[in-house]
């Protein structure tokens, strides 16, 4: 293999990564970009087989937690060799999120590679404020050293970079980029449902970080109103919270009966935009920046969005003049037309596809 110009290290989040690979291959020189997919499964391998600039690391992940841990005996050393081979070849390396402990250990041992690494920060799970106990652990000290010495930090939230500086002492350059096309504004023709029902979306996935139960408790006082509550549970359940989707369904049905509607079938992007178009209110109670693609799409569609006021996404929207609402002050009234129209215009301006393309061009060509 000849020298690589751009090496992308990605996990198994095909929902974001596959469209990104397609976009890069269609809009930039595909021969200059190579994607190494770690922690994958057999289904993803089949899905990505058509791409010549993608390598799926083996062995595949196993759903059985015991076997998954057992496989680490092989996966850790083999991953080290694989990463060393590709990192040596690459001129510029992009980490699409940094959740993988194997990658963190590798960069701790081979710290000289850090000067060509650009960390695309994913927020929740990627930028976590440690508890006092966690901050004393050896693992946190290793993580802090690794995450603090990269050449570049990529995000569209300046607050995430500030957080990286505070947590890890990061001194590398900040690159503003929307990162994935799902974070851009999409024009959707809305079919208004004038039936008087207020449709509320709680969370964006089956990840327990959505804090579904907390929001259910806040919404319980409205259960006799003309509402429907939707939860997207078709993806995102984490190994450390198995069965979470079923728990959410049971709790939702117990509290709201037929007014609770779990979404358990995966939708295409176009289908999902159509679904969002019917939502009136969305509530995202993540304690870290997450669900930004959903949030941007909903705001661009003129929907009312609730967030925590202590997350970096809240800060971003306030800075650019987008009206969002505090989860601690929930109501089921919809957004007024003045705020709605102002939000749509600001989202169009700040999250356009043209801006996305130019930011990627600047990132890739900025040697």
* pLDDT, tens digit, 9 for 90 and up, residues 131-163: 889 999 999 999 999 999 999 999 999 999 999
Neighbours of 243 (CB within 10 A): 10
Q: Do the two domains 4-180+354-365 and 198-350 of this chain adopt the same fold?
A: yes
Neighbours of 100 (CB within 10 A): 18
Strand partners, 175: 154
Q: Using one digit for the tens of pLDDT, what is the confidence trace for 51-61? A: 999 998 875 56
Residue 182 structure tokens? 């799902």
pLDDT of 216 > 80? The answer is yes
pLDDT at 136: 93
Between 76 and 104, residue with greater pLDDT:
104
Q: How confident is the model at residue 291 (pLDDT cuts 50, 70, 90)?
A: confident
Residues in the chain, overall count = 367
- Coil, strand, or helix at residue 12? coil
Instruction: For residues 317 and 302, give the distance between their C-alpha atoms in angstroms, rounded to a whole number.
Output: 14
pLDDT at 283: 97
pLDDT at 35: 95
Containing 3, the helix (H) or strand (E) segment is none
CA distances (Å), origin 118, targets 26, 152, 362:
22, 4, 13
Please state which CATH number belongs to domain 4-180+354-365: 3.40.50.2000
- The mean pLDDT of the chain is 89
Residue 170 structure tokens? 């990061």
- Coil, strand, or helix at residue 116? helix
pLDDT at 59: 56
Q: Tell me 309's DSSP state.
A: T
pLDDT at 190: 73
pLDDT at 78: 84
Instruction: For residues 160 and 258, give the distance between their C-alpha atoms in angstroms, rounded to a whole number.
Output: 39
153, 175 contact by CB (below 8 A): yes
Q: What is the average per-residue pLDDT within 91-116?
A: 95
Topology adopted by domain 198-350: Rossmann fold (3.40.50)
Domain ranges of the chain: 4-180+354-365, 198-350
pLDDT of 315 > 60? The answer is yes
Instruction: For residues 172 and 151, give the distance between their C-alpha atoms in angstroms, rounded to a whole number.
Output: 5
Q: How confident is the model at residue 218 (pLDDT cuts 50, 70, 90)?
A: very high
């Amino acid at each position: 293999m000849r020298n690589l110009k751009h090496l992308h290290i990605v996990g198994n989040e095909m929902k974001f990564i596959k469209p990104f690979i397609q976009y890069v291959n269609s809009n930039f020189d595909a021969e200059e970009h190579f994607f190494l997919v770690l922690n994958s499964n057999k289904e993803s391998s089949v899905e990505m087989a058509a791409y010549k600039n993608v390598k799926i690391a083996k062995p595949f992940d196993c759903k059985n937690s015991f076997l998954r841990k057992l496989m680490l005996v092989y996966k850790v050393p083999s991953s080290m060799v694989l990463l060393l081979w590709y990192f040596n070849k690459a001129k510029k390396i992009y980490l699409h999120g940094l959740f993988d402990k194997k990658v963190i250990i590798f960069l701790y041992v081979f710290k000289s590679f850090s000067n060509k690494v650009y960390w695309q920060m994913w927020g929740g799970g990627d930028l976590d404020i440690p508890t006092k106990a966690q901050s004393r652990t050896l693992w946190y000290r290793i993580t802090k050293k690794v995450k603090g010495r990269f050449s570049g930090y990529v995000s569209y939230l300046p607050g995430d970079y500030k957080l990286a500086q505070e947590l890890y002492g990061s001194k590398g350059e900040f690159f503003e980029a929307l990162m994935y096309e799902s974070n851009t504004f999409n024009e959707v023709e809305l079919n208004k449902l004038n039936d008087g029902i207020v449709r509320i979306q709680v969370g964006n996935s089956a990840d327990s970080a959505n804090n579904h139960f907390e929001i259910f408790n806040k919404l319980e006082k409205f259960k006799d109103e003309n509402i429907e509550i939707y939860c997207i549970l078709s993806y995102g359940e984490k190994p450390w919270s198995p069965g979470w989707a079923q728990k959410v369904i049971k709790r939702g049905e117990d509290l709201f009966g037929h007014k609770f509607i779990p979404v358990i079938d995966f939708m295409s992007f176009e289908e999902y935009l159509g679904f969002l178009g019917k939502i009136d209110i969305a509530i995202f109670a993540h304690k870290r920046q997450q669900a930004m693609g959903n949030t941007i799409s909903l705001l661009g569609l003129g929907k009312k969005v609730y967030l925590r006021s202590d997350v970096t996404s809240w800060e971003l929207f306030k800075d650019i003049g987008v009206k969002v609402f505090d989860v601690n002050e929930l109501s089921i009234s919809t957004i007024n037309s003045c705020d709605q129209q102002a939000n749509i215009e600001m989202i169009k301006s700040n999250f356009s596809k043209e801006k996305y393309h130019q930011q990627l061009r600047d990132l890739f060509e900025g040697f």
